[in-house]
Amino acid sequence: MNKGEKHMEMSYLGNTGLKVSRLGIGLAEIGYQLTTDNVLEAGKVLNTALDNGINFLDTASCYGLSENGVYGISEELIGKTVSNRRNEYILATKCGHYPYRKKLEQHPESWLASTVELNINQSLNRLKTDYVDLLQIHSCSLEVLKKGEIIEALVKIKESGKTRFIGYAGDNEAAIYAMSLGIFDTLQTSYNLVDQKARLNLFPLVEKQNTGLIIKRPIANAAWRSTKKIFVGFSDYYDDSYKERANEIISLGPLTNEPENSIELALGYILSEKLVNSAIVGTKNDKHLLANINLVKNGINLDKNLINEIKSRFDKLGDKWAQM
C-alpha cells in the first residue's frame, strides 16, 4: 500500500463475519450485454474492481442468455476471468429461475427445490469454484416463500457446504415476510433517491436482527437529472418510472448543497445509511467503475440537511410508490 493511498470502506455483512466492500459490483450488465466471447472486456471490469478494493461480486444464475437458450453468461465470464483470484472476493449469486428458456419469464419449474439444486450445481461449474459465499432466492413472490419448499432447499444447500450463507433478494411484502422468518443471513433490496420504501418497511427489521444488508439499484439507474437511456437489464420499466419519480421530487424546489455529479449524490445518499453493508452498482465499462470507486474512496460527505430533505420529499410523495 503506497503512502497516502486511500482505502475502500469495508463493512461486516450482518452476522456472517464476512467483511465486504461498501461499494460492490452487480454483474447483470456483463451477463446481458456481453457474450461468452467477451472475456477480455469482462476481465478488464472484474480485475479493475478487485485491484481497486471491491471484494463483493453479485451475480445470478439467470443473468445472460446464450444462443442455445441457457442462462448463465455472467457466471461463466466470472469463472473465465477471475476464478484464479477466488480468495480475493466474496461471491454472491441468486437462484430459483428455471435455466432453460428463450426469455426471462415465469416457468412452471421455477421455484422448485429441484430447480434450486440445478441452479447451484450449474453456478458452481460456471464460476469454477467449490462454493459460493452467499446464495440468494431471486425475487420470488410471497406465495412461493410461504410454500417453504425453496427455503428448505436453500437450507439443505447451506448444510452441504455449497454455500456459506443464504439470503433473500427482493422487495415489498415478500421481503418483509422473508425477514420475519429469521432464517436468512442477508437481504438484498432496492433503495435509492427515488425508491425509499425499504427505509420505512425493511430497515427496522434488518437492524433488529443484524441481517446483512445489500442494496440493489443504488444509483436509481442514473435517473436523477439524466436524459440518457440507461441499461436496466431486460426492461426499461425501472428507467422510465425512476425518472418520473425523480422529476416529481425535483419539482418541489431547489436542493441546497446538492453535488453537481448526480452519481456522487446517489452513492453518498446510500452510503450515509450505516446499516448498508454493500451497495452494488452494475457496469460493463471499467472507466465508469473506476470513477465510482474513486468517489467512494475519496469519501462522499453530503450535507445532513440535504439528506433529510430528500427523505422528507419522498415521504410526502412516496405513499403511491412501491419498491421496485
**pTM value?**
0.95
pLDDT tens profile 273-317: 999 999 999 999 999 999 999 999 999 999 999 999 999 999 999
Superfamily of domain 10-320: NADP-dependent oxidoreductase domain (3.20.20.100)
List of residues 6+ apart from 167 with CB closer than 8 A = 92, 134, 135, 136, 137, 184, 185, 186, 187, 188, 212, 214
Distance of alpha carbon 221 from alpha carbon 8, whole angstroms:
23
pLDDT of 322 > 70? The answer is yes
Distance of alpha carbon 300 from alpha carbon 5, whole angstroms:
16
Distance of alpha carbon 98 from alpha carbon 95, whole angstroms:
9
The stretch 162-175 carries a mean pLDDT of: 98
- Other beta carbons within 10 angstroms of residue 95's beta carbon come to 31
Distance of alpha carbon 165 from alpha carbon 184, whole angstroms:
8
pLDDT tens profile 197-253: 999 999 999 999 999 999 999 999 888 987 665 555 555 545 689 999 999 999 999
Q: How far apart are the first and last CA of the chain?
A: 40
Domain positions in the chain are: 10-320
Instruction: Give the per-residue pLDDT at 131.
Output: 98
Instruction: Give the per-residue pLDDT at 65.
Output: 86
